């Protein structure tokens, strides 16, 4: 798992169905996937093993996706915000400038695949 050449993606969402669907899409494309349901759980996962990409929901109890972005152990890791808001710009938060990208809910599988392969390409 970690330590081999497979890219690791951390999926953070308090909604178990959304988290499971995202994890399934990413895992089917050959990525190692870790899952977390909160900022605290995400930080625990990242302490266990670093991620090559983080996809996080915006609205979660106990802290938002942008709060997670603020405390990432490695700020160079690409960070994708998952939001129900149509435009991330409308969140009115300067931290969105640090995002690699954002996805809107409901998301399309192809959009997730394209984004993940672009931001965390698998080694050939």
What pLDDT, in 10s, does the model give residues 5-27? 789 999 999 999 999 999 999 99
Mean pLDDT, to the nearest integer, of 112-120? 96
pLDDT in tens, 68-105: 999 999 989 999 999 876 555 555 666 777 889 988 88
Instruction: Put the strands of the sheet holding 8-12 in their side by side order.
Output: 32-36, 8-12, 53-57, 79-83, 101-104
Q: How far apart are CA 79 and CA 53, in angstroms?
A: 6
Distance CA 61, CA 65 (A): 10
SS3 for 26? Answer: helix
pLDDT given for residue 119 in this prediction = 96
The pLDDT assigned to 123 comes to: 82
- Joined together, the tokens standing for residue 68 give 């997670």
Domains, the chain, with CATH or none: 8-108 (3.40.50.2300)
Residues contacting 110, CB < 8 A, separation 6+: none
% of the chain exceeding 90 in pLDDT: 68
């Amino acid at each position: 798992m970690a330590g081999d050449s497979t890219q690791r993606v951390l999926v953070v969402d308090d909604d178990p169905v959304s988290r499971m669907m995202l994890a399934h899409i990413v895992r089917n494309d050959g990525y190692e996937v870790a899952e977390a349901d909160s900022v605290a759980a995400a930080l625990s996962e990242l302490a266990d093993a670093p991620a090559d990409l983080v996809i996080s929901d915006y609205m979660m109890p106990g802290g938002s996706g942008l709060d997670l972005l603020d405390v990432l152990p490695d700020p160079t890791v690409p960070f994708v915000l998952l939001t129900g808001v149509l435009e991330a710009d409308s969140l009115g938060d300067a931290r969105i400038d640090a995002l690699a990208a954002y996805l809107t809910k409901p998301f399309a599988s192809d959009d997730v695949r394209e984004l993940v392969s672009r931001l965390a390409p698998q080694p050939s």
